[in-house]
């Protein structure tokens, strides 16, 4: 019997936030995988809290979502359109 052991609560919260952000953009895992270049299994493991994300992976995902780290960590601070209040963010990085 395989038992999934979740990481720390912060990893779980980050995964839940990633899922909410992805879904708010109307994307499924396959769409986000195609846009970000991050594998579907990796995305699923991140969202389920089964994998600790690398910062570079988070940035690739956020860039694909045209979102900012603030959208992920502080969604209540974004504008009603879902965009951060500033005009420059992680989605502008060339990674």
Rounded average pLDDT over 49-64: 94
pTM over 0.95: no
Query: What is d(CA 14, CA 17) in angstroms, rounded to the nearest whole number?
Result: 5
Rounded average pLDDT over 60-76: 89
Q: For residue 52, what are the contacts with CB-CB under 8 A and spacing of at least 6?
A: 7, 11
φ, ψ (nearest 5 deg) of residue 82: 90, 0
- Lowest mean pLDDT: which of 35-39, 57-61, 74-78? 74-78
Query: What is d(CA 38, CA 92) in angstroms, rounded to the nearest whole number?
Result: 18
CA 38 to chain centre: 11
* 8-45 tens-digit pLDDT: 888 999 999 999 999 999 999 999 999 999 999 999 99
């Amino acid at each position: 019997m395989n038992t999934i052991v979740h990481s720390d609560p912060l990893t779980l919260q980050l995964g839940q936030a990633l899922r909410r952000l992805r879904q708010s953009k109307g994307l499924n895992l396959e769409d986000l995988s195609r846009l970000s270049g991050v594998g579907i299994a990796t995305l699923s493991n991140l969202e389920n809290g089964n994998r600790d994300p690398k910062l570079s992976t988070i940035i690739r995902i956020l860039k694909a979502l045209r979102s900012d780290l603030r959208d992920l960590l502080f969604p209540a601070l974004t504008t009603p359109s879902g965009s951060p209040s500033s005009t420059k963010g992680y989605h502008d990085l060339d990674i």
